[in-house]
């Protein structure tokens, strides 16, 4: 299941729309959509979603952390 699908299910359970989730996160709906389709991978926003929706997104958080470390040249320095 994709991140977008998991969030969609959690939103239905909470009775929220994506727009409401974006409002709760204090971000735009467009930015939220970018996160959901992995155009952007901000770990802190994924954790925020996890807390607001009471859902486990650790799989996506790990993927994002791996990607951040792979693109961060300072991450490979001893």
N- to C-terminal Cα distance for the chain? 36
* pLDDT > 90? residue 73: no
Cβ neighbors of 11 (< 8 A, separation 6 or more) are: 17, 18, 20, 21, 53
33-59: pLDDT as tens digits? 999 999 998 999 999 999 999 999 999
To the nearest 10°, report the CA torsion of 64, 70, 72, 73: 170
Query: What is the pTM assigned to this prediction?
Result: 0.81
* CA 78 distance to own-chain centroid: 29
């Amino acid at each position: 299941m994709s991140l977008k699908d998991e969030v969609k299910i959690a939103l239905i359970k909470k009775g929220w729309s994506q727009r409401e989730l974006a409002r709760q996160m204090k971000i735009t709906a467009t930015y939220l959509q970018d996160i959901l389709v992995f155009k952007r991978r901000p770990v802190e926003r994924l954790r925020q979603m996890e807390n607001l929706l009471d859902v486990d997104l650790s799989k996506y958080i790990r993927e994002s952390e791996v990607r951040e470390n792979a693109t961060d040249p300072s991450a490979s320095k001893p």
